[in-house]
Structure 1
Amino acid sequence: MTDVSHRIVRHDARHEGVEAMSLATNHCFPRHSHDEFGLGLVTFGGQRSWSGRGFVEALPDDLISVNPGEMHDGAPVGRGARGWRMIYLRPEVLGFLAEDQGTGPFEFARPSFADAIAKRLFSELFDALVAPEAEALAIDERMVGLFGHLARSWSASAPRRRDPPPAVARAARKIDDDPTAKASLAELAALAGVSRYQLLRGFARHMGATPHVYLMQRRALLARSLLLSGLSPACVAAQAGFADQSHLTRVFFRHFCMTPARFQAARGAR
């Protein structure tokens, strides 16, 4: 297949807090995280990735998942492209699971899995989310059916992710609080109360990325939010902590496989 790096469709998902996407690309995504839960179905090709829950090689009809804040990357298996459909859900959308199931907060146990029932339920939910005539009741029924099944089958079997040690948590919180601020490794280490080497190793081990990679990820997410608010890419570059608009474009494309202008145009068209 030829280069399909830009074949990304963001559907008008008819449910607040939910986003549906169709992707076909040979783009290699760097390590990054989402603020949402993500669940996808591979439609062709293969996806190879690293995540905090292990290495993944997902093939057609496999489901792939990611938890909020979980670092992961993504690359095609082989030289060709791969395609998948993806649903992202804000954590509060799945708040009903703890109440309905009588369990703790929901979390995906595996980064990829094969499940014929979940595949069917996923496809039904995806189709309902993108259908212009879909009603809220139909979407809610399919969402409860899918994630109720996943909570019983693929959530309870895995241990919960452990919180990072206090030193790493302090450094990460500093970046989260203001990703536009410039910070040196020495400053972060002093805040964390450890040496620069200890912070670098500990941060990479527990967060899945170095402090700088994590910082760029948070700036990319901030830029995405600012673009959605209607600011121009030039203004976003200045407000999100990038050196200039070209710097924003390079980082944004690596993370989201499209330029800021194209991302904004696609959202405006919706």
Structure 2
Amino acid sequence: MAERIAYHRSALHGIHTMQADSSRTFARHCHEEYGIGLIVRGAQRSFSGRGMVDAGPGDIIMVNPGEVHDGQPLQEDGRAWRMLYIQPALWQQLAEELAEQEASPQPLLLPQLSDAGLRQQFVQVFALLGGEAVAGLQAEQAMLQLLSRLLPTHGYRQAASACSAAIARVRALLDDAPTQPHSLSALAELAGISRFRLLRSFSQQLGCSPHDYLQQRRLSLARGLMAQGRPLADVAAAVGFADQSHMNRVFLQRLGITPGRYARALC
């Protein structure tokens, strides 16, 4: 089966779309945006902030900014799905309009749900935003109607963070110095625990290993530099990847496309 993964700017500023048909297994990663999607064909199993989740045809799939997740097909011929990725600033604006209250805390999205009405609304919004025309009244109205059904019914409030002080110190270092080389021994020394305990505790509390977390931070930095029009080789060196080929592999493992294709589609 030929893999097809394509990202596009949408007709509404602050949202981009993605269409995929793939048997690829995605490594654990996260996005900076809110994601709302639909499984069109096949089924997948994924790790999420709420545990392991299976999703099949017609199911809505969702992810919150910074939420670690992955994805693997449950059938040999893969699965097909569509996604809307919404910038947090736009999400906040739309959610506040719906709540008629500024700076109100926003509920988080569940990773999977079955809702025939929501599915129909998603299909309508995706069709409107997938075109080349500038978004008009119909697209804005459809997006608000989608969120007005989604948030009150299918949101949840996040529990207090269970991240320990030791793991918080390691995460802070990786956040502050993602372009620098790091060793597991040095991170364990910073945390004041053994290397094995660091690996286990970091993965339990944050959903991924220290190495995967660092790769995700570098990928996020790379996307920002690519948006500025920087050459890909310069981007790879600036964010800490060994070379451009290394950056290519990380993009493919987590986003399913190369940096070049990503830049041409969204930057």
With the length of structure 1 as denominator, give the TM-score of the two structures.
0.89
Shift of 1:212: 0.7
In structure 1, the residue corresponding to 2:58 is in which secondary structure? coil
Give distance in 1, aligned partners of 2:151 and 2:178.
34
2:247 matches 1:248: yes
**Structure 1 segments unaligned to the other structure (5+ residues):** none
Determine the structure 1 residue equivalent to 2:98: 100
**52, 76, 80: which one pairs with 1:55?**
52
Q: For residues 97-152 of structure 1, give each alpha carbon's deviation from its aligned partner in whole angstroms, at most 9, with x where no partner exists.
A: 256336622211x2111101111111121122123335343232222211121111
2:168 matches 1:169: yes
C-alpha distance 260-133 of structure 1, shift in aligned 2 (>3 A) = closer
Question: Per chain length, whose mean CA-contact separation is higher, i.e. which structure has more relative contact order (CA < 8 Å, sep 6+)?
Answer: 2
Please tell me the residue identity of whatever aligns with 1:37. Y
**Once structures 1 and 2 are overlaid, which stretch shifts more, 64-73 or 128-137?**
128-137
C-alpha distance 90-135 of structure 1, shift in aligned 2 (>3 A) = closer
Identity rate of aligned residues, in percent? 39
Shift of 1:195: 4.0
Give distance in 2, aligned partners of 1:252 and 1:112.
24
The 8 Å contact of residues 3 and 26 in structure 1, kept in 2 or not, is answered as no
The 8 Å contact of residues 219 and 240 in structure 1, kept in 2 or not, is answered as yes
Determine the structure 2 residue equivalent to 1:227: 226
2:152 matches 1:155: no
Q: For residues 32-59 of structure 1, give each alpha carbon's deviation from its aligned partner in whole angstroms, at most 9, with x where no partner exists.
A: 0111111100111112111121212111
Please tell me the residue identity of whatever aligns with 1:242. F
Determine the structure 2 residue equivalent to 1:142: 142
Give distance in 2, aligned partners of 1:266 and 1:250.
18
Determine the structure 1 residue equivalent to 2:119: 119
Aligned residues: 263
Please tell me the residue identity of whatever aligns with 2:98. D
The 8 Å contact of residues 128 and 134 in structure 1, kept in 2 or not, is answered as no
